[in-house]
Amino acid sequence: LNVDYPFNLTGILYFPKINTEYDSIEGTIKLYNNQVFIADNIKEVIPEFLMLLKGVIDCPDLPLNVSRSALQNDGFVKKISEYITKKVADKLAELYKADKDEFAKKWDDIKMFIQFGMLTDEKFYDKATGFALYKSIDNKYATLSEYIAQVKEAQTDKDGNLVLLYTNDPDAHYTYIERAKAKGYDVLLMDGELDVHIMSQAEQKGMEKEKNSEDKLRFVRIDSDTIENLIRKEENTKDNYSDEQKEG
């Protein structure tokens, strides 16, 4: 972070390496004024979802004596918070565009931070749709809009609904997954703690680039029905019954 207008701020933030014990994560972002320590983890200055990150921020324009009640009503402080959010989002977008494969390798480690941001910050969500990835069971990564383009033709049902199949347990759902593959369908791996909320959010908002489909996007767990019922196609089968048999 490096800005000199409309306020002076420098700093560095990083995503700590995590394991699956998400509830043990505790980030620390220390605030300084001209290298004089003020406090850490001030939520009025640092967006809530970035509290899980670690780093340091030096802002000479912040008061030395921090009063949280004063900060809550300070429009200047809000601008600082918005700038930090924008900067993090822009950097992630830049990294994704520069090297998608390298970004995908890091995705499993930063996924939870980004999803939490998307769920709690509207402006961050708008930017994150360009680099938030979805992972297929064959370890291929794509943004939602990229993924939709890949599966739209095969996984749109007879009513025009785009059905995105997912599993939260590939081993338990192995048979269902194989039946889906046999039909030429793809299956997402959605086994993270925030994945259910992210899918619900995506269904509600739709994709801005897919306005015609935003009310038709559905995530469906692979074991919730037979594959024929999950993605219903037009029935072109003809019966071979005689008129007499039909009457019977």
The per-residue pLDDT for range 58-76, each reduced to its tens digit, is: 988 876 665 555 565 566 7
Those residues with Cβ within 8 angstroms of residue 229's Cβ, 6 or more apart along the chain or in another chain: none
Radius of gyration of the chain (CA): 24
Contact indicator for 55, 14 with CB cutoff of 8 Å: yes
Segments in the chain below pLDDT 50: 207, 209, 212-215, 237
pLDDT of res. 84: 87
Q: Where are the beta strands (DSSP E) in the chain?
A: 2-3, 9-14, 29-33, 36-40, 54-58, 133-135, 141-143, 162-167, 187-189, 217-221
| pLDDT of the residue at 214 | 45
